[in-house]
Every structure is written in C-alpha cells, then in structure tokens.
A and B are shown apart, each in its own frame.
Chain A
Amino acid sequence: MKTRPLFTGLALAFLTSTAAHAGDVRIMWYSDGVEGEVMKDLVGRFMKENPGINVILDNVAYSVIKEQLPVQLEAGNGPDIARVTAIKELSKHWLDLRPLVKDAKYWDDNFGLQADWMRPDGANQISGFMTQITLTGGYANKTLFDQAGVPIPGPKATWEDWAAASKRVQESQQVPFAMAIDRSGHRITAPLLSYGANYIGSDGKPAPLDKGAKDYLTTFVGWAEDGTVSKDVWVSAAGSTYRAAADDFINGQLAFYYSGSWQVANLATKIGNNFDWVAVGSPCGPAACTGMPGGAALVAVKYTKNQKDVATVMDWFAQEKIVKEFSERTLFLPGHKALVDKGGLDFKSDNEQAKAALNVFVESTKTTSEAALKLPGWRWSDTVYAAIVTRIGQTLAGELKIDDAFTRIDADIAQKVKDAGQ
C-alpha cells in the first residue's frame, strides 16, 4: 500500500518530463558570420507563431559539426535538425521529409537543384534545403594594390598573373605574404579543376591524381617555397584540419586571399573602413576559370523523436520570404530557385564593398565548370580533399617531396576506399 503513492509519483514525473520534451526541436547550428544572430531572431519569431513547438538553438563551433556530429549520428543520436556542410557524406542519417512537409512540390521546384547533394545516391527524398549556396573565390586588398601602383588583374587573369601581381604588391608594400589559400581541400580544388584536374574515375570512384592536379600542386608548393603563398596557414596543423587565412587578410597582411563567398559578411564587419577590398572571382587555369560550389544545408535528422514538429520547423524556414530575409540579412547567396530567378535581393549592408563582392560571386557562378558542379554530390569528395590537405601540408612543412606527396595522396585515397569496403 505504501509503495503505491511512490510509484504514482514516479509515473507522473515520467509523464510530465516526456510531455515537456514532446514539442522540443533542437537545432545544431554553426556560424561563419552573423547568421547565428539572424537565426536566433527567426527562431524567436517561429515560436511566437507556433507556440506549441519549442525550438532550442544550439550554437556550436564548426569543428563540432565536422567532428562530433558524425559520431553522434553514427550512434543514432544527434539533434533534430542540423546545419551541415558534409551533406552528401552523412546523407544516410537525414530524415525523408517528403511525406511530412506541407507541399513537396514546392520543395522540389525550389530546392531540387541541390537535392541530390543531400540525399543517398538514387533516393528521391527531401532531406532539407541549402541555407546558403557558396562559391569559392578570391579577394584583393585594393588599397595595397593601389599603393603599390599595381593594377588589379582582370576577370580572365590566370593564377600565374595573380601570383605575379600579388608578389609585386608584397615587395612594394612589405607585407609578409602575397597570397594565401585556406587550408582546405574544397578551396584548393578550385584551382586544381582550373588546371584540368578530374577526381572522378570512370567507375565513379576516385581517380589517381592526374596531370592537371599535379601541375597546380607543384606550382602551389613552389609559390610557398619562394614566399609568394603563405605557408603559415598550411603548416599550422597536422592531418586534414581546416584553417582559414581570413585573419591575415583582415589584418592587411595579404594582397590576395582565396576563400569564398561566405567570407563577405565577415570581411565587411571586421575590415570596416581600414582598407578597400574587392572580390575578384576565381583566377583561370589552362582548363577553366572555375570556383568550387558548395554551401551549408539545414537538414532534418532521422533519429528525431519529433518528426511532425521537425517538418513544421523546416517548412517554416523554407518559406520564400524567410529564405529571402535570411539571405539579405546574412549576405548569403540563397539556394531558393524562385527567389534567385526573381532577383532583387536587397542585401542588408551599408558596406558597398560587400554588396559589390556579392554581385561578383553571383557573376562567377556562370563560369563554374561541370566538374566543379559534380563534386558536392560525390561521396568521395571529402576523402580526396582530406588526402590532398594532409600531404600537401606535410610537403610545405618540409616532410615530403612533392612526388612522394602525390604517391601518398593516391595511396591514402585508395586505402580509404578499401576501408569503406568499396
């Protein structure tokens, strides 16, 4: 008899705690710039309109998304929704929203172009949508170029042209380095493709490094050795760890910085009026003048216990007006087809340089090569990127000769393919 109240209390407590979580939707979010603040604001508005759903926004470092989220997902855990960049690699963990969203056709029409990037090969599922479409590209410190009396190379300038011009600026203005490229396989893939590299073999698996890839990597290592390219950022870590060189550019230490469109807000905020800068698109190689597309997607995780609420949240954030507001406030290029077709995005920035930079990136999408467009949806992209970054990093640190690095890159990729049971 005496135990009955105890069990009743425990049961009530259990039911209450379950009820408290029924309307919770947890979003794991990372920020490159101001999008965390914008998202926080939008989440507040969503909850006002949908009082039954409590959205918890976990702002985390990008490394958490890159390193910890995959482990959580493999263990069948993780948030309900996440903002991720490894969208294809982790696609088996995404929830199929097709039967859950209000209007699947709206999703297909507006986010269909990138739908394959975030679903398993051959599937027709709706996993989420791109919060931003990115494109890699360069930035020049216009003030340094002007002070050095060196004209900024034109739209068809090659990587060699940029290296030569930046070197003259470096020598004239006594800055530590002429150029820098982020320590990232995705970033360095753009010039490799411009030099004619092809990563994808005829069987769909990674092909050995070809002449185009070797040519650019050899040139790149040569530039690092003669001080044209900053090797600091490339030797500042082991393995495939990501490092951006944005701070060097922001501090006026570089004439030319190769990164991507997602840096526009960051540069606009941090550089302010310190110097003039311009986005210049991607330099050309013998084969193309391409940047690398990519971006971050907001995806639903299939391990959620709250599918209905998750779909409601995704539907709300995928609305054209919300995507428009998000893009305008974050200065991101949207991945919403109708919105892009209509044009007329009013990017919320007083910074004319930022607005001009965004237009340059929109213009640069026209020169994106077919090879570059394939890579975001190819499952081995990250494997190839990681091998290149690891071994070229070692080469720049003086641990490997370039030819040995090529052999190692091919061997590393082959081993990973074998490890994956392919």
Chain B
Amino acid sequence: MTTPSLASLLLGPINAVMRIIDAPLRRLQKATGIGGMATFFLAPNMLIFGIFVLLPLVINFVYSMTGGTAFFLSERDFVGGAQYSRLFECQNYLDPMSCQEDAFWTAVGNTFWFVLLQVSLMILTALITALILNRELAARSFWRAVFFFPVLLSPVVVGLIWKWILQRQGLLNFGLYQFGMDPYTWLTDRNWTFAATIGVSLWAHMGFYALIILAGLQAIPKDLYEAAEMDGTKPARVFWRITLPLLAPNLLVVVVLALIKSVQVFDEIYVLTGGGPGTSTLFLTQYIYETGFASALRNPGLAAAASILMGTVLVVLTLIQLGIGKRGENKGKR
C-alpha cells in the first residue's frame, strides 16, 4: 500500500473541478472562439480594474466639472470647464503670483524642479550603489540590507526621523554645536528645505531602485565581460558599451517608476516640512489634498481638476518614455 503524495491530494479536487467545468468551457469556446475565451478569463480582472481604477477616474472627472463645497455629486452644480479655466487663469505662468490659483502654479513649479532633480539624482545614485553592491564586497548581503532598509519604513516614520534630525533643536544642530559650530535652521530656509526634501526622498527610496538595477546587472551574461577582458577593453568602455546598453530595460523601468513616484510625492515631505517654509516645498499632491480636504471650505471640484491635469501629465510622460524604450528595442533588433 502506498500513501498518497501531497501533490496527488491537492490535484484530486482540482481535477474534479476541472471535469465539472470542462464541458461548459468547451461549449463557450465553440460559441465565442479563442478571442472570446480570452475575454472571458480577463473579465474578472478587468471588472476589478474598472471598479477600482476606471470608475473613480470617471467620477473624478465628473467632479472636476462641478462647483461648490458639497461632497455629494447630487448636491453639486455643473460648471463645465470653469475649474480648469480657474486653474489656468494666469498672466504669466512663470510667475505664480500672477495667477488666480497661485498655490497651484507654485506647486507645479516645485514639483517640476523636484522631479527633475530627484529623478536624475535617484537614477545616478541607484546606479552607482547597484554597481558597488554588485562587486565582490566583504559583507555584501549586509550592505545590500543597509541600503534597502529605508524602503521598508513607513513614509511618516521617514518624515519624522528626518524632522528630528533637521529641526532647530534637532540632532544635526546638536552635532554642529558639539563641534563649536553655530546651529542652522535647516527647515526654515527655503533653499535648504528644498534640498532636504530631495535628500530625504533619495534616502528613503534609493534602495528599491538600486535593487531593480542590481537584478539587471546580475542578469548580464558573465561571458561578455570575460570576452571584453580578454580583448583588454578599458573598464569605462565596458561600462558604456556592455553594462549600460544591457541595463537599458531595467533603467527604463526605474525611470518610469521613479518619475511617477516623484510626481506623486506627498507623505514624507508633508510630515517633514508641511509644504513650508511658505510654499517652497508645496507639491502638487499636497495642493490637491489641501484644496479638496483640508482647507476651510473645501473645493473638491478644483482639487479634482488639478488631479486630472496631474494624471494627464503622468500619462504623457509615461507614454513618451515607453516610446523611447520601444524605439531602443527596435534599434537593438535591427
């Protein structure tokens, strides 16, 4: 007598279910064809996507065409594109103070500079970190964990840790004081605060992107490097001609993810600076949150319009990047 294996125990019920649904599925396939079957199997997923992503998007768009302070759509007045007009009412887009919604354009400007600087620095530091972690280091796993650890922290914790370090009576100033230097108000100086938001964001997320790049580095066949070494190729040329081109798909993923995350930056910065000093670290997501939920007499319509605009920019940027990636792939194939 042989005892049944775990696999056969599990397969039994599955096979029973398969026998029951086999006949109806065959009939369905006969009626709808292969394309119909694909639709049938994708339908549950698409339903969930529709309910939790597309429907809120549509509702958000409808909200952006309404005015007033009420939350229920039924209690809101249809105002057409008035919220969009209000956002775009501006004498000079480069001077937010000349715009009716100056906070929106300040947030747009801040977000633009933040994305530009943070994404560039993020890719650079993540790439350098991954290259170092890919080498034969002592305690390599430990170092990988060190760089990845901040990714595991909640954004609120990240914000609070850095607030305790950077505030007037924080750790950094305490350290400076111990060395006989004057303390500095890091979080009330516009330029330093903006730099701090970028630095904190890099610290918090870099490990994640470094991990993606590291996976890409480890997927590059070793024989290419061996061949280059036998040819006496210089390390810099190896990097530019082998490593970087073969990392391109991973880098594209990193750029897309970092860009989206960067445009949506909110929680850790909100805890760290609250958008201040003044509005120097007010980013788009905070503007939307405050306009829609936190300010006196909330304006959900205006917040919805701003979020639709932000979403549109994100879609365009992603499409451009994917287009660039596809062109690179096609070039590689030729």
Contact = CB atoms under 8 A, between A and B. Distances in A.
A397 B293 contact: no
A240 B274 CA distance: 10
Main SS of chain B's interface residues?
loop
Interface in A215-258: 231-232, 235-241, 243, 251, 253
A352 interface: no
B278 interface: yes
A419 interface: yes
A15 B38 CA distance: 42
Nearest to A235: B277
A1 interface: no
Interface in B55-78: 67-72, 77
A239 B190 contact: no
Contacts of B280: 397, 399
B276 A393 contact: yes
Nearest to A74: B71
A279 to B, nearest CB: 24
B155 interface: no
Given A236-B188, A238-B278, A404-B97, A416 B168 contact: no
Interface in B29-85: 67-72, 77
Interface stretch (A106-114, A283-291, A353-361, A379-387): A379-387
A75 interface: yes
Contacts of A68: 293
A70 interface: yes
A259 interface: no
Contact of A420 (B71, B276, B282, B297): B297
A339 interface: no
Contact of A394 (B70, B279, B294): B279
A421 interface: yes
Given A398-B190, A420-B68, A236 B296 contact: no
A231 B185 CA distance: 11
A239 B103 contact: yes
A42 interface: no
B298 A70 contact: yes
Given A74-B72, A398-B190, A238 B275 contact: yes
A67 B293 contact: yes
A237 B102 CA distance: 16
A239 B278 contact: no
B279 A238 contact: yes
Contacts of B169: 251, 253
Contacts of B281: 238
A385 B68 contact: no
A65 interface: no
A241 B102 CA distance: 17
Contact of A239 (B70, B187, B290): B290
A89 to B, nearest CB: 8
A419 B299 contact: yes
A416 B86 CA distance: 13
Contacts of B296: 89, 240, 382-383, 385-386, 416
Given A231-B188, A382-B296, A421 B277 contact: no
A257 to B, nearest CB: 16
B197 interface: no
B286 interface: yes
Contacts of A36: none
B295 interface: yes
A241 B274 contact: yes
Interface in A368-402: 382-383, 385-386, 393-394, 396-400
Contact of A238 (B72, B97, B286): B286
A68 B273 CA distance: 20
Interface in A29-82: 66-68, 70-71, 74-75
A389 B70 CA distance: 24
A386 B295 contact: yes
Interface in A183-200: none
B195 to A, nearest CB: 16
A23 interface: no
A398 B275 contact: no
Nearest to A236: B276
Nearest to B70: A74
Contacts of B294: 66-67, 239-241
A394 B278 contact: yes
Contacts of A66: 294
A90 to B, nearest CB: 11
B72 A393 contact: no
Contact of A236 (B77, B274, B286): B274
B295 A71 contact: no
Contact of A71 (B71, B187, B297): B71
Identify the interface centre among B68, B190, B296: most chain A CB within 10 Å of its CB: B296
B333 to A, nearest CB: 49
A67 B291 CA distance: 11
A241 B185 contact: no
Nearest to A389: B296
B277 A397 contact: yes
A112 to B, nearest CB: 27
A240 B295 contact: yes
A176 interface: yes
Contact of B276 (A67, A71, A237, A400): A237
Given A239-B103, A400-B97, A383 B297 contact: yes
Contact of A235 (B102, B103, B276, B293): B276
Interface in A303-361: none
A301 B187 CA distance: 40
A71 B68 CA distance: 14
A420 B185 CA distance: 39
A232 B189 CA distance: 10
30 contacts: A67-B293, A68-B293, A71-B71, A71-B293, A74-B72, A89-B296, A232-B185, A232-B188, A236-B273, A236-B277, A237-B273, A237-B275, A238-B274, A238-B275, A239-B103, A239-B294, A239-B295, A243-B274, A386-B295, A393-B278, A394-B279, A396-B278, A397-B278, A398-B190, A399-B97, A419-B68, A419-B297, A420-B69, A420-B297, A421-B68
Closest 8 CB pairs of A and B: A397-B278, A238-B275, A237-B274, A74-B71, A235-B277, A386-B296, A382-B296, A397-B277
Given A240-B294, A396-B278, A398-B190, 10 more contacts: A67-B293, A71-B293, A235-B277, A238-B282, A239-B103, A253-B169, A394-B278, A397-B190, A397-B277, A408-B102
